[in-house]
Structure 1
Amino acid sequence: MKIGNDVAIKALFEIDESIDALVKQIELLSYVNPTNIEEQKTLFFASKYLTDPVFKYPEINFDKFKLHRELYTQSIELIEDEAIRKLYEDIIYTYSGLIRCIENIGNDKKFYYNCLRCFGTPTENDVENAKFILHFEDENKEVPAFQPKYSATEAEVFFKDFSKKYDFSYSIKQSDKMSAIAMVLNNIKTLVLNANYTYSDNEIAVLTNHEIGVHMVTTMNGILQPLKIFSHGFPNNEETQEGLAVFSEYMSNNLTLTRLKELAYRVIAVDSLAKGYTFSRTFRLLHNQYDLEREEAYYITVRAHRGGGFTKDYLYLTGLKKIYDYYHEGKDLSLLLTGKVSLDYVNEIESLIESELAIPAKHITDSYAENKNTNNKVDFILRSLK
């Protein structure tokens, strides 16, 4: 790769630094999670699932117009290498799209259409894959490993113990205003646990591999990179990052049919958005037609409908299939751990490493060292997905 002369390389780093300073202010998950999920759940259940929740969201604490303007005034024409210049163009368009998502949270149509631009929506194939998974009989959830057991405070101990495998440190906090049961906030190197949730042994095994083994690993690897793009995220990185995270569950022998079904229900919920379903109709689809227990149906519906229609959730299953195939083709997973990167830009990542503008991943997902999966049914399903 011909990156360019010293002047062009200096310009690349200045543009990268400038974009990083701007996008540090944008963490979509910090804004799209309703602050009144539990209160609205009580009202929704009392209405016999007929009255849609009215969600409230955190206030936006940045100047939206100024961010847009400063993103588009970057002198990316000074980047000599065409592939790298195109990558930074894509980044600017992506982050401008995320700002549009944030500024329209709560405005259903505008938020939904901006989400479509950022994350897309399930294809017919994706929906068929989800329905294929849901045809399989449920595992026995009565076994001890699936029983709720640990409070968020007790769960913290397991995360801290698991993290001893890695040479990095991060913060852990709890929140009672989130629809996920755990998540990593990349920009502040923080694992957030759902204060209202009681975790099972299986969920602890899944989440330690998923959140720490991949999301925190790629956060920390991204910080070590010369170019900040690896830290704030490549375009379309969500599908790759979630695929890697669920794949770590598979490699550590913690990916169950129950978990695959959860990902399939998310696809069904997001597809219902594309069909114009309201919150209550999506919930009833999951609860009545698919016999999903009402608490789980509620939180999956919240995840899909928050903000006005958050389509990202279908990417967990599509990402898993792509990473599963990538691994079984004998390709290098460590390239995808170099930061918040995307499968779409593997060639660019390799070129940046060759040009010493990026470094190989220092932290490697522990479960990727050996395939410990013994669940033949899970393997059969993943192989069979279209």
Structure 2
Amino acid sequence: MKIDINVGSKALLDIDKRIDNLVKQIELLSYVNPTNIEEEKQKFYASKYLEDPVFKYPEINFDKFKLHRELFTMPLELIEDEEIRDFYETIIYTYSGLIQCIETIGGGKQFYYNSLHCFGTPTEQDVENAKFILHFDDEDINDDAFIPKYRAIEAEAFFRTFSKKYDFTYSIKHSDKLSAIAMVLNNVKTLVLNSNHTYSDNEIAVLTNHEIGVHMVTTMNGLLHPLKIFSHGFPNNEETQEGLAVFAEYMSNNLTVTRLKELAYRVIAVDSLAKGYSFSRTFRLLHNQYDLDREESYYITVRAHRGGGFTKDYLYLTGLKKVYDYYHEGKDLSLLLTGKVTLEYADAIQSLIKKGFAVPSKHITDSYAENSNTNKTVDFILKNLK
């Protein structure tokens, strides 16, 4: 659809382009992952889980003061469409918050409060949902699908084969500095695999649908719009994006009770931040009280405590429930694949498409074509989350 270029439209496109140039450097996950996770793990174990790790983080390679200044001097008053003008005002505050997060990484409570501002924290209901999930028994972990088999270099071949379903290309890198076992870096169109991890068949199935089927799909769709904000991210898009990604695991019949419990443990870990728990106390909560494996307890605790207290992890479960309900209400999932967008802005996305500032999704998550889930326990759990 061609855009009718009037003064207001030109101002919008100019502002959007300026924001695009400014925020290309803001990839929070590039900065918040500690560079010494494995070294600190050995020290933490040797201390009998009593001495908190001392994490190191990548250097920040942008001028944070300049970014703040340029964001807040955007001439938003030139955007004639009031709905879009208000939207971009929210965007500027959102990106300013992310910059504050990055600039306070490793700063203890200061980072935690900035993270709280950007991502929120679990409600009592979210914690109750997590505890509800933890009452269910895991699948048989002796099943061959759950046995670790593939190093990162071997796992890479599975991602490349899976990606033939999609009409796009991207880079794959390996890193020993990840708190996750895989992640997509949106700004450089790159999948990063954890070189310290040995992957099972189940994890390969989960990650291909999660990382490529959603995160890379929304990365590639986001690049196709006249407005670049679809690429860099709507306000509060993390909940929707992670919800969509875990929902792809569900639709492809790869979402297990074990995986749901992992997401529930993340909620418990983030809730511990709100209670003022230290790293070691969160770890002991998971490992001793919830009887979670030592390695899993460590990495979930790292994810929650990295930077000084990173609250984002509880959003996987809340996002999954929202997307699950959205799908079962018969709504259009492809609208949520248009980029790094937010479910709450679904009407705004449709409006932007009508006005010619956005386009429908070109790439559609393969697993969304048909609901292949056969796990009745998983369905029961998702239906009954509050």
Superposition deviation, residue 80 in structure 1: 1.1
Q: 2:114: which partner in 1?
A: 114
Q: Deviations over 1:274-332 (max 9, x none)?
A: 00000000000000000000000000000000000000000000000000000000000
Contiguous gaps of at least 5 residues in structure 1: none
Instruction: Say whether the 8 Å CA contact 1:4–1:81 is kept in structure 2.
Output: no
| Equivalent position amino acid for 1:74 in 2 | M
Q: 2:339: which partner in 1?
A: 339
Superposition deviation, residue 83 in structure 1: 1.2
Superposition deviation, residue 5 in structure 1: 6.4
Q: 2:296: which partner in 1?
A: 296
Aligned mates of 1:87, 1:213 — CA distance in 2 = 28
Name the SS for the 1:113 alignment partner.
helix
Aligned mates of 2:285, 2:115 — CA distance in 1 = 22
| Equivalent position amino acid for 2:336 in 1 | L
Q: 1:330: which partner in 2?
A: 330
Counterparts in 2 of 1:283 and 1:111: CA distance versus 1, 3 Å: same
Q: 2:285: which partner in 1?
A: 285
| Equivalent position amino acid for 2:289 in 1 | Q
TM-score by length of 1: 0.99
Name the SS for the 1:173 alignment partner.
strand
| Equivalent position amino acid for 2:73 in 1 | T
Aligned mates of 1:107, 1:182 — CA distance in 2 = 26
- The alignment status of 1:251 with 2:251, answered yes or no, reads yes
Q: Deviations over 1:4-48 (max 9, x none)?
A: 861110000000000010000100000000000000000000000
Aligned mates of 1:79, 1:345 — CA distance in 2 = 19
Name the SS for the 2:223 alignment partner.
helix
Instruction: Say whether the 8 Å CA contact 1:35–1:56 is kept in structure 2.
Output: yes
Q: How many residues align?
A: 384
Aligned mates of 1:76, 1:154 — CA distance in 2 = 49
Aligned mates of 1:102, 1:227 — CA distance in 2 = 25
Instruction: Say whether the 8 Å CA contact 1:4–1:80 is kept in structure 2.
Output: no
Q: 1:90: which partner in 2?
A: 90
Instruction: Say whether the 8 Å CA contact 1:158–1:204 is kept in structure 2.
Output: yes
Q: 1:142: which partner in 2?
A: 142
Superposition deviation, residue 82 in structure 1: 1.3
Q: 2:372: which partner in 1?
A: 372
Q: Deviations over 1:212-239 (max 9, x none)?
A: 0000000000011111000000000000
Superposition deviation, residue 264 in structure 1: 0.1
- The alignment status of 1:10 with 2:3, answered yes or no, reads no
Q: 1:224: which partner in 2?
A: 224
Q: 1:100: which partner in 2?
A: 100
- The alignment status of 1:264 with 2:285, answered yes or no, reads no
Aligned mates of 1:169, 1:242 — CA distance in 2 = 21
Q: 2:76: which partner in 1?
A: 76
Q: Deviations over 1:205-264 (max 9, x none)?
A: 000000000000000000111110000000000000000000000000000000000000
Superposition deviation, residue 180 in structure 1: 0.1
Q: 1:26: which partner in 2?
A: 26
Superposition deviation, residue 177 in structure 1: 0.4
Q: What is the alpha-carbon root mean square deviation over aligned residues?
A: 0.8
Q: 2:319: which partner in 1?
A: 319
Contiguous gaps of at least 5 residues in structure 2: none
Instruction: Say whether the 8 Å CA contact 1:175–1:195 is kept in structure 2.
Output: yes
